[in-house]
Amino acid sequence: MLGLVLFYVGAVLCLNGLWLLGRIGDNEIAVIDIFVGGITLLVSLYLAFGPGSDAASIKAAALPFDRPFF
């Protein structure tokens, strides 16, 4: 499940690059960014607190947030 989220994040990075080139509008990229951010948050919460969670799943849930965004 985490691999799929990282695939979505990679696709958003490519779309953000197209946005910087002026090929995608501001409103469209905002919707895509918020949607993928929400998916990432939900999957991370499920991995951390879902059924059968253990230390490894909590570490996997923290993976998308282990580096600062700047």
Domain boundaries, the chain: 2-65
Provide the CB-side half-sphere exposure for 64 (13 A, CA). Answer: 24
Contact 42, 10 (CB under 8 A): no
Q: 13: burial class by Cβ within 10 Å (0-12, 13-18, 19+)?
A: exposed
The predicted-structure confidence for 57-70, as pLDDT tens digits, reads as follows 777 767 655 555 54
Whole-structure pTM value: 0.69
Longest dimension (CA), the chain: 45
The predicted-structure confidence for 11-56, as pLDDT tens digits, reads as follows 999 999 999 999 999 999 999 999 988 988 888 888 788 888 888 7
